[in-house]
Amino acid sequence: MPSPELTPGARGAIIPIGGAEDKLHNRKILHRFVEVSGGEAAKIAIIPTASELDSTGPRYQKLFKRIGVADAWVLDYRERADTDNPEWLARLGEATGIFMTGGNQLRLSTILGGTEVAMLMRRRNAAGVPIAGTSAGAAFLPEHMIAYGASGATPHAGAVSMAPGLGLTNRVIVDQHFRQRDRIGRLLTALAYNPFVVGFGLDEDTSAFIEGDRVEIVGAGAITVVDVSDLDHSGMASAKEGAPVDLIGVRLHVLTDGCSFDLATRRASPPPAVRREE
């Protein structure tokens, strides 16, 4: 369960990014993240734990400073013992925006899971602080995380391995590098287990800004929204390992920059400009 909001509607944006976001040109997604984090007054905590490269944290630090923020800190949690670091906890408590880099989402869940860092991130988000993650960082944001899986178009039993994530929302499962790595089969498999959640398949350089019920798509690619709330039948309970899984009644939307999706009504809308023409 997500940490409870102190006042209704107080929760900060939850921002999964599909990986490989533009860092050189207009940096649309990163700019928008800085904007919702306070703009020039923003203080960004960068968590590069998913990555095994020492350069990942400093690279984002430079990027955010170039965009123009009040401060940007690298909280370089390498192992569970690091999560007690009082200085880093103080910065995490002071940050107006938190950003998790890409890498391996199992590093995030195994190093941060259950620690004071994870609990503080959950409380800060509930109190209004936006939390973004790219690639592995995106996968880790929700309650139910895709740990790894197969590529391909058709769902099949065993195609995906799920694990508990950070738990900022339990209404969405995200998958990243979606078009680039052909992951619709594994996302469908994840949803076939329990049709409660909505699946977001995020192309690279594409993000979802989830603010309450409203989700806005920002970036150069598409988000494939897979809605199984009206599923008539899932064959997952009886499917053998490796066998394809029957799914009857999936609803699917492909949404690009400016489109929106409502998590409460499960309705998708085209960008406002298109609506005006209709």
Does the footprint of a copy of itself cover residue 245 (CB under 8 A)?
yes
Is residue 204 flagged as an active site residue? Answer: yes
Identity (one letter) of the amino acid at 121?
A: M
CA distance 218 to 30: 10
Q: Which is nearer to a copy of itself, 130 or 221 (CB)?
A: 221
Task: Single out the catalytic residue among 51, 144, 156, 204.
Answer: 204
Does the footprint of a copy of itself cover residue 229 (CB under 8 A)?
no
- Burial (CB count within 10 angstroms: exposed 0-12, middle 13-18, buried 19+), residue 97: buried
Is residue 177 flagged as an active site residue? Answer: yes
CA distance 209 to 215: 5
Q: How far is the CB of 249 from a copy of itself (least distance, A)?
A: 7
Contact residue for a copy of itself among 38, 128, 158, 244 (CB under 8 A):
244
Per DSSP, the three-state class of 14 is: strand
By CB under 8 A, what part of segment 161-200 binds a copy of itself? 178-180, 182-185, 188
DSSP structure string for 167-235:
-S-SSEEEE-SHHHHT-HHHHHHHHHH-TTSEEEEEPTTEEEEEETTEEEEEESSEEEEEE-TT-SEE-
Taking CB under 8 A as the binding criterion, the range among 40-48, 66-74, 118-126, 262-270 that sits at the site for a copy of itself is 262-270
User: Which residues belong to the active site?
Assistant: 135, 177, 204
Residues forming contacts to a copy of itself in the complex (CB under 8 A) are: 151-156, 178-180, 182-185, 188, 201, 203, 221-222, 224, 232-233, 235, 238, 243-256, 259, 268-271, 274
